[in-house]
Amino acid sequence: MRRLVVWNVMTLDGCFEGTRPWALDHHETVWGDELEAFSLHQGNEIGTLLFGRRTYEGMADYWRNETGPIADMMNTLEKAVITRTLHTASWANTRLLKGEAAEYVRTLKEETKKKDIFVFGSADLVATLFKEGLVDECRICLAPIALGAGSPLFKNDSIQKNFELIEANAIGSGGVILRYKCLTGDGKSEALVN
């Protein structure tokens, strides 16, 4: 079974973006050679990038026009977008999944001979996947900044989320890359982990 991994940059006060959509200036506080190398290494694990519609549109608009190793990775990876409103997907290697997120993710996880599924951004989608117990691992680059206001990575949805630390690595920019296994409230793995 494929694993589902959530990856985001998050501020010390828990935001994945600022007060406006795509306000991501805090990414600059951690970006550098180490995070680029981590991103490229992580890319080797990705079989499918999964997005909600808003994140997909923003990522597509940005990465289609970029060049370099990260852009090459983003533009060539298989992508899927869960949507009720999009009718076409113009970013290379994208398929539309129209309907309920949990149903599609269960199907994606059962695909054989494929690498893992990663979700970048997409906090609303991530909240749904946590509620359904479909997230296997959460990776966060903790940025050394507090915004004071913004969009939280973890929605206030009254669902307790327990994690077990797998790895923590400080990087030269002052950020910390954290890897957590997702657990249920009873301390067991929330989803199947290899």
Give the residue extent of every domain in the chain: 4-183
CATH number for 4-183 (one of 3.40.640.10, 3.40.50.720, 3.50.50.60, 3.40.430.10): it is 3.40.430.10
The two tokens of residue 130 are 């946590």
Q: pLDDT (tens digit, 9 = 90+) per residue, 165-174?
A: 999 999 999 9
Average pLDDT score, the chain:
90
Q: pLDDT (tens digit, 9 = 90+) per residue, 3-44?
A: 999 999 999 999 999 888 888 899 999 999 999 999 999 999
The residue among 172, 115, 162, 183 whose CA lies nearest residue 141 is: 172
- Mean pLDDT on 44-68: 93
Report the distance separating Cα 83 and Cα 79, nearest Å. Answer: 13
Report the distance separating Cα 133 and Cα 183, nearest Å. Answer: 9
Direct distance between the N- and C-terminal alpha carbons of the chain, in angstroms, rounded to an integer: 8
Report the distance separating Cα 89 and Cα 96, nearest Å. Answer: 7
* pLDDT > 90 fraction of the chain, expressed in percent and rounded: 70
- Mean pLDDT on 89-103: 91
Task: Give the list of residues 6+ apart from residue 179 with CB closer than 8 angstroms, or none.
Answer: 137, 138, 139, 165, 166, 167, 168
Reported pTM = 0.90
pLDDT of residue 2: 94
Report the distance separating Cα 125 and Cα 102, nearest Å. Answer: 9
Q: With contact defined as beta carbons under 8 Å apart, do 129 and 101 qualify?
A: yes
